Amino acid sequence: MNGALTRYRVIAWIVGVMLLLLTLVAMPMKYFGDNNLGVVIIAPVHGWLYVVYLAAVGDLARRVQWPVTRILLVALAGTVPFLSFVMERRTVAWIQGNDRQPSFTEA
């Protein structure tokens, strides 16, 4: 369980950072700077990392008794900039048994 959670957390962070790179760096480069390079490199990498993210979410779902809506929510959160980091914290709270809203001031 801890291994699956750790795998999920690692890939969630990687996908989250890649998504920020894509939306905050590569896309402005393409549409304002007329430079396609960032998108050409980052978009496929992010796409395949998101596939790995889905695998990690599926693996996690196999081990917990979550309602299906929550699984889909966690899966889709990986596609929304910034939300992936929030969802990563919620997921850790869900797994570790306290359904309270995690306070974001905690380290």
Partner 1 sequence: MSISGQAILADVRRLLTPGWLAGHALALLAVVTCLALGWWQAGRAAEGNTLSWAYTFEWPIFAIFVVVIWVREIRLTLRKGRAEPAAAAVDPVDRPRPVITRRVNQPTAADDDSGDPQLAEYNRYLAWLNENPEARPSDYPAKEYR
- Evaluate the CA torsion angle 83, 85, 86, 87 in order and state its sign: positive
User: Site map for partner 1, 8-47, x if CB under 8 A?
Assistant: -------------------------------xx--xx--x
What residues contact residue 37 under an 8 Å CB cut-off, 6+ apart? 29
Encoded tokens for 72: 């889909």
Segment interacting with partner 1 (CB under 8 A) among 4-12, 18-26, 55-63, 81-89: 55-63
Can residue 75 be called a binding residue for partner 1 (CB under 8 A)? Answer: yes
Residue 42 CA to residue 58 CA, distance in Å, equals: 24
Q: Is 61 in the site for partner 1 (CB under 8 A)?
A: yes
Count of residues making up the chain? 107
Residues at the contact surface with partner 1, assessed by CB under 8 A: 39-40, 43-44, 47-48, 50-51, 54, 58, 61-62, 65, 68, 71-72, 75
